[in-house]
Structure 1
Amino acid sequence: MLIGDTRGPTQASISRIFTRITNIMSTKAAEEINMPSTPQQLSTSAQAFSSVTNFPPVIEAIDGTHVAIKAPSIDEAMYCDSGYPLEPFLMTPVTNPTNEAEELYYRALVRTRVIVELTLGVVKNCFRCIHRFGGELQYTPLRSAKIVSVCLLLHNRCVSRSIPDPNNHLPEEDMPIEAHVVGAGDRGGTGRQTRDEIIPEFYGRKGV
């Protein structure tokens, strides 16, 4: 007891505590962080997005961000970013818009997606362990993923309790939308068909 009081807990003890807390909180994050599913949740989410983005009914904005981790010794190629595919339920930008309707669609998509981009920026600014200025996480990909989920859970707690994010913001680290949000493909062509229907219907009129 005397040694513990004067020297503090050992590295092994801290590691065990950290692992236990991370596992508990990441399980909680998996329970709480999810897509809206009930009719009420879907309606509320769509109305919230519509009020700020002028994009056809949206329930979620999806994005990714780079978190530096210790390179895994096997299957390292599995952790590369391949982008998002164009799907009937997942819209991606039009590469090099060729007319006004496509340009309006593109701008509306940017306004929609910037919501999640800003959120990720706030999270990484608050939790420096997942920001590039904090170095890289010296853990396995699975443990690193749990740490990221805990950061997101704590962010949601801060939002629900109106706790402001830190004022000492670090520089932005991610690439602009044009560079990293191009769809990876369109299985069966149904995604492109949906997008081709949305563009003239919602953005074919001037002033939209």
Structure 2
Amino acid sequence: MAVAYYNYIRRRNPNLHRDRIFRDIDNPLDYLDDTDIICKYRLPRHNIIDLCGRFNRDLRRPTLRSRPLPVSLQVMVALRFYATGSFQAILGDVHRISRPSVSRIINDFTDCLVRLSPEYVKMPTQNDSVQIMRGFSDIAGFPNVIGAIDGTHIRIKSPSLDEHLYVNRKNYHSINVQAVCDSKLRFMNIVAKWPGSTHDSFILENSALKDMFERGAIPEGWLLGDSGYPLRPWLLTPVLHPTTRPEERYNTSHIRTRNTVERSFGVLKSRFRCLDTSGGSLLYSPTKACRVTVAVAVLHNMCINNGVPIPADCVDARDRGRIGRPQYIGPINDGVTVRNRLINGRFA
């Protein structure tokens, strides 16, 4: 009865004073709409809430203080850092917490995401490979492709140990990150541990990915890589000097299909500016920079899996961290035979 009377009075007097709604300014989920949340934090509201629930035990801080930092605020602070690459002092001022607290938040949340990486960054099973091959084939007609492989450089500050090893061919300090993606730009494998001076072929030769292909632990299919990689029966590279029409058609299809990995890096760095040169450089040690890279790759896959649109400020989806590298020069194996059979069969 009271509710009906109140509604009657409101209809008769629309200018009646309304009760103020107080929102928690320490929790952006309380006062931002869905579009602003994706723009500022890159993930949709339901994904952020899910991360808060999954990492509640890891991020909840037992303290005798009256106001411990809520898990939701910690998640939002870390996501804002990934999205912008802002200095920790600036993030602290925006969210009204201290710079040391921001540092601990980023470190703890990064650890949580790295532990989550086997769930989100993994090579396909036999059932998944069929769909992946179909997706790659739809791009340019290249058959039996289960992944595109490439490397990208993540700028970091000058490290205190072995500084010269991190200077890449463009003369700045970086880590060289190897990744394999599918046709939907999801990362299926990522190796983030090598200094910027390391050649792509060396990273592959010393990775678990190569061992998995060599022992047949991955479904049959090919990786596509550029001329910086060795030609293998499971890794196809372009023909360096094509002389026939089939070889030219092969190269054209190969380049268009392999371009997905460059687009993956471009979308990753556009969405999470902490890895992009527009955000400066990662002001961390190489070890922590590698962990941040893996954590951001997990978030990237979450966005792809949930169909999260790229925010309007992420207009450039090219890989700005890619560096031209010399072609691989090494022993020839039966990868040449596999490639020639494909050229003379599919592209003739």
| 1:202 matched to 2:319 | no
- From 14, 32, 44, the equivalent of 2:131 is 44
Shift of 1:188: 4.7
Q: Judging changes above 3 Å, is the alpha-carbon distance between structure 1 residues 76 and 118 closer, same or farther for their aligned structure 2 residues? A: same
Query: Structure 2: which 5+ residue stretches go unaligned?
Result: 1-64, 70-92, 166-194, 200-227
Higher normalized helix content (fraction of residues): 1
- From 129, 137, 142, the equivalent of 2:274 is 129
Q: Which protein shows a greater Rg?
A: 2
Q: Judging changes above 3 Å, is the alpha-carbon distance between structure 1 residues 46 and 3 closer, same or farther for their aligned structure 2 residues? A: closer
Q: Say which is worse superposed, 162-171 or 148-157, in terms of deviation.
A: 162-171
Shift of 1:10: 2.5
Q: Higher relative CO (CA 8 A, sep ≥ 6), structure 1 or 2?
A: 1
- Tell me the TM-score normalized by structure 2: 0.52
| 1:9 matched to 2:153 | no
State whether residues 230 and 237 of structure 2, in contact with CA within 8 Å, keep that contact through their aligned partners in structure 1.
yes
C-alpha distance in structure 2 between counterparts of 1:3 and 1:162, whole Å: 36
Tell me the SS of whatever aligns to 1:97.
coil
Amino acid corresponding to residue 102 of structure 2 in structure 1: I
| 1:20 matched to 2:108 | yes
C-alpha distance in structure 1 between counterparts of 2:333 and 2:288, whole Å: 37
Q: Judging changes above 3 Å, is the alpha-carbon distance between structure 1 residues 76 and 28 closer, same or farther for their aligned structure 2 residues? A: farther
Q: Say which is worse superposed, 17-26 or 44-53, in terms of deviation.
A: 44-53
Higher normalized strand content (fraction of residues): 2
C-alpha distance in structure 2 between counterparts of 1:202 and 1:188, whole Å: 22
Query: Structure 1: which 5+ residue stretches go unaligned?
Result: none
Amino acid corresponding to residue 195 of structure 1 in structure 2: R
Q: Judging changes above 3 Å, is the alpha-carbon distance between structure 1 residues 196 and 75 closer, same or farther for their aligned structure 2 residues? A: farther
Tell me the SS of whatever aligns to 1:85.
coil
* CA RMSD, Structure 1 to Structure 2 (Å): 2.6
State whether residues 88 and 194 of structure 1, in contact with CA within 8 Å, keep that contact through their aligned partners in structure 2.
yes
Residue number in structure 1 paired with 2:298 = 153
Amino acid corresponding to residue 100 of structure 1 in structure 2: R
Amino acid corresponding to residue 101 of structure 1 in structure 2: P
C-alpha distance in structure 1 between counterparts of 2:312 and 2:147, whole Å: 27
State whether residues 86 and 183 of structure 1, in contact with CA within 8 Å, keep that contact through their aligned partners in structure 2.
no
Q: How many residues align?
A: 199
Q: Deviations over 1:111-137 (max 9, x none)?
A: 111122112111111111111111111
Residue number in structure 1 paired with 2:287 = 142
Amino acid corresponding to residue 134 of structure 2 in structure 1: Q
- Tell me the TM-score normalized by structure 1: 0.83
